[in-house]
A = this chain, B = another copy of it.
């Protein structure tokens, strides 16, 4: 497949049916307008068939006037936490391909996801947030990690996060992604925090490339070198990635968070994201996410499912 370079292309690709048709999405407690609208938008666009797990009376009321209710199956579970338990079970037992959070606190659904017996995080797997930024000024999508879950990743976590992001980029048709290890300092000074981790990861990639599959990993480099050919070139730091990063490994979740929010507010950027590490994709939209963000997050999950 040709690489998907924008959210418009993502939407076109998914709607074309090339992704293998509708995925089955379990939504935990969609008893608010936001959750119903986001879900039904994805249903209407042919992306998912929905399993709405929550208070049937409320959900049926909210479904009134929606177009494709034949593709929206209501599973009656009154208690929000129990709705999470049931939605997670449906995903775990293969009845659904994607899990989405409705009106329930993130902590609550996370506890169910992380439950050792009934949850969907395999033992030893790193749980992280895998995201995509569609920046109008950038000529392709930026797959970035992690703006939300791991405050300060260890080297081992970073390796897993890079693998997840590479996997995502490849599912989007980027055959040999460029991975930029971002840092405010471009000099490879091992005395600086987590710089040694970056150097070790690059060594690992050089010595055991099969760990990551086809890709280029380089750094430390700043945002200019990673994504801005003109400004990056002036710095004179030699790298094959210059201005062509596909995957951005951020120093910490603070920097990823500030970066994407700045560009969403002032750079016209769109954002999509999902939990990764779980057996199936988990869409954890919050109320403050735009309708566009919710829609593209479901598209992303549908490709990854």
Residues of A at the B interface (CB closer than 8 Å) are: 135-138, 147-148, 151-152, 182-184, 192-193, 222-224, 227-228, 231, 234-235, 250-259, 261-267, 269, 287-288, 290
Whether A287 contacts B223 by the Cβ 8 Å rule is no
Separation of A225 and B252 alpha carbons in the complex (Å): 20
**A184 neighbours in B (Cβ, 8 Å):** 147-148, 151, 253-254, 257-258
Closest residue on chain B to residue A288 by CB atoms: B234
Q: In the complex, what distance in Å separates the CA atom of A231 from the CA atom of B269?
A: 13
Q: Which residues of B lie under 8 Å from residue A288 when comparing CB positions? A: 224, 231, 234-235
* A31 → B minimal CB distance (Å): 18
Residue in contact with A265 in the complex, picked from B223, B258, B290, CB distance below 8 Å: B223
- A251 CA to B228 CA, complexed, in Å: 24
Using Cβ atoms and an 8 Å threshold, which residues of chain B touch A263?
A: 262-263, 266-267
Residue of B nearest to A152 (CB): B193
Q: Are B265 and A151 in contact (CB under 8 A)?
A: no
> When the two chains form their complex, are residues B193 and A231 in contact, meaning their CB atoms are under 8 A apart?
no
Residues on B with beta carbons closer than 8 Å to the beta carbon of A136 = 266
Residues on the B chain within 8 Å of A183, using CB: 254
Residue in B251, B262, B264 whose CB lies within 8 Å of A254: B251
Instruction: Find the residue from A148, A182, A261 having the highest chain B CB count within 10 A.
Output: A261
- Closest B residue by C-beta to A265: B228
Complex Cα distance, B254 from A224, in Å, reads 13
Given contacts A183-B254, A184-B148, contact A137 B265 (CB under 8 A): yes
CA distance in complex: A11, B227 (Å): 30
- Can you list 29 contacts pairing A with B, beta carbon distance less than 8 Å? A135-B266, A147-B184, A148-B184, A151-B184, A152-B193, A182-B258, A183-B254, A184-B253, A222-B261, A224-B261, A224-B265, A227-B265, A227-B266, A228-B261, A228-B265, A231-B264, A234-B287, A251-B258, A252-B255, A254-B254, A255-B259, A256-B258, A258-B259, A259-B259, A259-B262, A262-B262, A262-B267, A263-B267, A266-B269
A234-B288, A252-B254, A263-B266 given; 19 more Cβ-contact pairs under 8 Å = A135-B266, A136-B266, A137-B266, A152-B193, A183-B254, A184-B253, A222-B261, A223-B262, A224-B265, A228-B261, A228-B265, A235-B287, A251-B252, A252-B252, A254-B255, A255-B259, A256-B258, A259-B259, A266-B269
Separation in Å of the A137 CB from the closest CB of chain B? 4
